[in-house]
Homo-oligomer: A and B are copies of this chain.
Amino acid sequence: MSNKIITIGREYGSGGKYIGELVAGKLGIPFYDKEIMEKIAEQTGFVNEFIERLAEYAPSKNIFSYAFVGRNSAGESMEDYIQNVQRKIILDLAAKGPCVFVGRSADYILRGKADTLNVFICGDAEAKKERICKFHSTTPEEAAKLMRDTDKKRSINYKYYTGETWGNIKNYTMVLNSTQIGVEKCADIIAQVYMSKS
């Protein structure tokens, strides 16, 4: 497998997903997000909301309750089952051709299996809070809590499934602060580096 894949990890509120869409648009390659959810739903029979909760954010604080409650016939917990389905879908999509993945530990899943450009998007707390308020119509307090909780879950999830630290520079080709650089310029830089690696 030698398709050039872009993976984007991101802090909540940093605009990382939007940057991913912009990059995919600039390069004319697919951006996979909803399609992954649909494929998981198709293969597992679970509804989207349940998958979303488990696929990116498990194991949550309730790791022990999940671990003892839901297991399939192979003895996997529901989170592990969905993660495994998701892992295979990501590998299949990456084998199809160049594309962009956001989140889902795709950098780790594709390590050694594809030619990846791994990006992490971070941002300044105040700006991230403002962005969350704007796009999710929340109060600043709700935005702050949402930001804290979501990043914590992403970080725990990444640690659990990769054994590594989320946002540690050694796992990325580049880390960009979208507040200081701007989302458009971030997308521009990622596309440039992608092209220069040809």
A residues with a Cβ closer than 8 A to B are 117, 120, 122, 167, 169-170, 172-177, 180-182, 185, 189, 192-193, 196-197
Instruction: Select which of B120, B182, B189, B197 is within 8 A of A169 by beta carbon.
Output: B120
Q: Give complex CA distance A177, B122 in Å.
A: 16
Using CB atoms, name the residue of chain B closest to A184: B196
User: With A189-B189, A189-B193, A193-B181 in contact, do A172 and B175 touch (Cβ < 8 Å)?
Assistant: yes
This protein's copies in its complex: 2
Residues in B with CB closer than 8 Å to A122 are: 169-170
Residues in B with CB closer than 8 Å to A192 are: 185, 189
Q: CB distance B172 to A174 under 8 Å? A: no
Tell me, rounded to whole Å, the shortest Cβ–Cβ distance linking A96 to chain B: 23
8 closest cross-chain pairs (CB), A and B: A175-B175, A173-B180, A169-B175, A173-B177, A174-B176, A122-B169, A185-B196, A189-B189
Using CB atoms, name the residue of chain B closest to A120: B169
Residues in B with CB closer than 8 Å to A177 are: 169, 172-174
